[in-house]
């Protein structure tokens, strides 16, 4: 698979089959992803690759918390600006329409949207997951390094015939994740990522993108 095809075919998949992902495949992916760039080569990420019993336990604990109606953990970082301005606000609501529209859920059915979103904490049925941490001491530039790492992992997964869904949703239960993974205290959870083979029968979302002129400017005198 060439890079264009990997980029084009990567999308946030939210329905996975129970087909297991071989450990060697996951090792190949994270081993290649370690070549992701970072400023001054700090490599400020730490990934936990989780499968089998530990992932089942994590899903069980998250499911229990969700069912109990317990509130989310206090956030360790701000996921979005408090007030999203235009055009981001419109892009977010267009995304909501696409995501929940694909499931036949209308805008006003908040409960059904929440039910659909709760699949996040079951990793959408995926048999493997990656939890990406960043050292708390790191600044804005290192967060971008971690983003590049996460994207590198997702593109390599495509080369293996696998799909993924990056999930900030897991940061809402960062304490539960830590109880299972036991990371050192200096690490902060950025996101989880569901990994597996796509369930091609699941409802699908192909998100759009803003017209190129909104996000790219060529400066070449032409
Ligand atoms: C850092 C990050 C966090 C995300 N968190 C979630 C999440 O918690 N749950 C989810 O379903 N999708 C999540 N997404 C997926 C985005 O909604 C998705 O990437 C975006 O809508 C574009 O769609 P596409 O990836 O299918 O092209 C996340 C994406 C990124 C990059």
CATH number of the domain within which 201 lies: 3.40.109.10
Q: Which two tokens stand for residue 26?
A: 């996951």
Asked whether the predicted pLDDT for residue 90 surpasses 80, the reply is yes
Average of per-residue pLDDT values in the chain: 96
pTM of the model: 0.96
Q: Which two tokens stand for residue 86?
A: 């235009």
Asked if the structure places residue 222 within a domain, the reply is no
Q: For the chain, give the percent of residues with pLDDT over 90.
A: 89
**What is the tally of structural domains in the chain?**
1
- Tell me the per-residue pLDDT of 134-177, one tens digit each, with 9 for 90 and over: 999 999 999 999 999 999 999 999 999 999 999 999 999 999 99
- What separation in angstroms does the CA of 41 have from each of 37, 63, 84, 145, 208? 7, 38, 33, 9, 33
Asked if the structure places residue 56 within a domain, the reply is yes
- Confidence grade of residue 36 (pLDDT, cut at 50, 70, 90): very high
Asked whether the predicted pLDDT for residue 222 surpasses 80, the reply is no
Produce one character per residue of 67-81: b if its CB has 16 or more CB atoms within 10 Å, e if not.
Answer: eeeeeebeeeeeeee
Q: For the chain, give the percent of residues with pLDDT over 70.
A: 100
Pocket test for ligand 1, best of 167, 173, 174, 204 (most atoms within 8 A of CB): 167
Q: What domain range is 67 assigned to?
A: 3-78+119-206
Asked whether the predicted pLDDT for residue 53 surpasses 90, the reply is yes
* Ligand 1 atom having least distance to the Cα of 190: 1
Asked if the structure places residue 213 within a domain, the reply is no
Q: State the Cα–Cα distance between residues 103 and 119, nearest whole angstrom.
A: 13
Asked if the structure places residue 15 within a domain, the reply is yes
User: How much helix, strand and coil, in percent to the nearest 5, is found in the chain?
Assistant: 50, 15, 35
- Give me the phi and psi of 190, to 5 degrees please: -85, -60
What DSSP element (H or E) covers 156? Answer: helix 140-159
Per the CB < 8 A criterion, the answer to whether 46 and 187 are in contact is yes
Which residues have C-beta within 8 Å of that of residue 32, sequence separation ≥ 6? 152, 156
Query: How far away, in angstroms, is 178 Cα from ligand 1 center?
Result: 22
Q: What is the mean pLDDT of residues 189-207?
A: 93
Asked if the structure places residue 109 within a domain, the reply is no
Pocket test for ligand 1, best of 131, 168, 189, 215 (most atoms within 8 A of CB): 168
Pocket test for ligand 1, best of 145, 155, 166, 203 (most atoms within 8 A of CB): 166
DSSP helix/strand/coil, 18: coil
CA-nearest residue, atom 13 of ligand 1: 167
Place of tokens 């799909």: 163
Identify the pLDDT of residue 203.
83
Asked if the structure places residue 112 within a domain, the reply is no
What DSSP element (H or E) covers 40? Answer: none
Asked if the structure places residue 104 within a domain, the reply is no
What DSSP element (H or E) covers 26? Answer: helix 23-33
Least confident of 29-43, 130-144, 173-187, 198-212: 198-212
- Tell me the per-residue pLDDT of 92-114, one tens digit each, with 9 for 90 and over: 999 999 989 889 999 889 899 88
Query: How far away, in angstroms, is 127 Cα from ligand 1 center?
Result: 19
Q: Which residues line ligand 1 (CB under 6 A)?
A: 11-12, 14, 95, 120, 165-169, 191, 207
Asked if the structure places residue 102 within a domain, the reply is no
């Amino acid at each position: 698979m060439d890079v264009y095809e990997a980029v084009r075919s990567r999308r946030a998949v939210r329905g996975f089959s129970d087909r297991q992902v071989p450990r060697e495949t996951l090792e190949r992916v994270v081993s290649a992803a370690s070549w992701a760039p970072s400023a001054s080569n700090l490599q400020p990420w730490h990934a936990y690759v989780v499968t089998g019993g530990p992932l089942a336990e994590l899903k069980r604990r998250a499911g229990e918390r969700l069912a109990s109606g317990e509130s989310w953990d206090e956030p360790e970082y701000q996921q979005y600006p408090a007030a999203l301005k235009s055009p981001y606000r419109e892009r977010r609501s267009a995304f909501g329409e696409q995501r929940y529209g694909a499931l036949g859920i209308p805008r006003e059915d908040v409960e059904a949207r929440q039910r659909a979103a709760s699949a996040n904490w079951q990793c959408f049925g995926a048999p493997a997951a990656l939890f990406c941490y960043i050292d708390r001491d790191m600044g804005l530039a290192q967060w971008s390094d971690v983003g590049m790492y996460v994207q590198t992992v997702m593109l390599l997964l495509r080369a293996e015939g696998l799909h993924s869904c990056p999930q900030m949703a897991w940061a809402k239960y960062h304490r539960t994740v830590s109880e299972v993974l036991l990371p050192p205290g200096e690490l902060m959870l950025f996101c989880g990522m569901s990994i597996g083979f796509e369930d091609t029968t699941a409802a699908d979302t192909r998100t759009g993108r803003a017209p190129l002129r909104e996000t790219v400017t060529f400066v070449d005198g032409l």
